[in-house]
């Protein structure tokens, strides 16, 4: 399997298909590069080079004890882009991957001149948890509860989440895909429990405000207004305002996992933005 090794010895698995302008995909918690299969195939067939990696502790990457935080995620992505000598790249991140993209572009990608554009889909920035500076955020107890469910019965938790709020399958008249549910479960269970446990803190408590303010490349913020995982009102509009060159695109009724449930729409809009 193709891997790169980080400065602290973690092996990061990645996929690298095609040629042309590179598009780099960063997945959400607690999934893997496989969550981008639809987009990888679509953009590969459109003449792009597509790259996706398994974040440390996720999928086929090393399941070490530490480093499960946004700073390490962004630094790992920087190692990958340097190893593959990527330039003029478009970075696309979903959920926690959106936080990873924001941190990478601000701290490494733009300073190194490697990034052309960025896309944040259903992404966790600016910050999810409720704080004095973010009174509209979710109480810390919500995320403590996620950690408790993971520790108590990770396998059941990783079924209930995609079967319910992640894809909006708990909504009336939802068209439920058992294949999508089990594919989510498969990806989640491939990863390490410690990485996923720590990752809940990483995606919920990291404040990306300063990162967003530093980004100057064109950035598209895509978010469904029926997102039950990362609430729309306290994320997407705020991120778009913080970005110097941000564009907000809101999807009525779309869930958190809209890259899967509404792939045709998301792919078309991504392609239009990349070509613009």
Helix (H) / strand (E) element for 186: namely helix 178-190
**Omega cis (within 30) before 267:** no
Contact 270, 238 (CB under 8 A): no
Could you tell me where the beta strands, DSSP code E, fall in the chain?
A: 3-5, 11-17, 22-26, 49-53, 89-94, 115-121, 219-224, 246-251
Whether residue 223 lies in the annotated active site: no
- CA dist 171 and 107 (Å) reads 39
Q: Strand pairing of 219-224 and 246-251?
A: parallel
Whether residue 256 lies in the annotated active site: yes
- CA dist 97 and 180 (Å) reads 19
Question: Side by side, which strands form the sheet with 3-5?
Answer: 3-5, 11-17, 49-53, 22-26, 89-94, 115-121, 219-224, 246-251
Contact 43, 57 (CB under 8 A): no
Q: Can you give the length of the chain in residues?
A: 276
Beta-bridge partners for 50: 17, 23
Cα-Cα-Cα-Cα torsion 140, 142, 145, 150, nearest 10 degrees, comes to: -100
Tokens of 165: 């709020």
Name the catalytic one among 62, 95, 204, 239: 95
Name the catalytic one among 54, 76, 211, 227: 227
Whether residue 54 lies in the annotated active site: no
Count of CB atoms within 10 A of residue 252's CB? Answer: 7
Q: Which residues are catalytic?
A: 95, 227, 256
């Amino acid at each position: 399997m193709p891997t790169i090794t980080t400065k602290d010895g973690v092996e990061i698995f990645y996929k690298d298909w095609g040629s042309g302008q590179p598009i780099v995909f960063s997945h959400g918690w607690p999934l893997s590069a496989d969550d981008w299969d639809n987009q990888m195939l679509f953009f590969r067939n459109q003449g792009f080079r597509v790259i996706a990696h398994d974040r440390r502790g996720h999928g086929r990457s090393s399941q070490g004890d530490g480093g499960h935080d946004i700073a390490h995620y962004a630094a790992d992505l920087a190692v990958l882009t340097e190893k593959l000598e990527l330039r003029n790249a478009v970075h696309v991140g979903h959920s926690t991957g959106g936080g990873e993209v924001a941190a990478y572009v601000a701290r490494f990608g733009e300073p190194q001149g490697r990034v052309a554009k960025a896309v944040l889909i259903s992404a966790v920035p600016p910050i999810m948890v409720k704080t004095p500076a973010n009174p509209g955020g979710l109480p810390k107890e919500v995320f403590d509860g996620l950690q408790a469910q993971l520790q108590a019965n990770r396998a059941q938790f990783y079924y209930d989440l995609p079967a319910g709020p992640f894809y909006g399958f708990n909504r009336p008249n939802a068209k439920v895909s058992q294949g999508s549910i089990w594919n989510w479960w498969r990806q989640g269970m491939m990863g390490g429990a410690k990485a996923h446990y720590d990752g809940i803190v990483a995606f919920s408590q990291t404040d990306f405000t300063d990162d967003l303010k530093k980004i100057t490349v064109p950035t598209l913020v895509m978010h469904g207004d029926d997102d039950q995982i990362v609430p729309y009102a306290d994320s997407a509009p705020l991120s778009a305002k913080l970005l110097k060159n941000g564009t907000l695109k809101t999807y009525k009724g779309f869930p958190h996992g809209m890259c899967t449930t509404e792939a045709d729409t998301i792919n078309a809009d991504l392609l239009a933005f990349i070509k613009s």
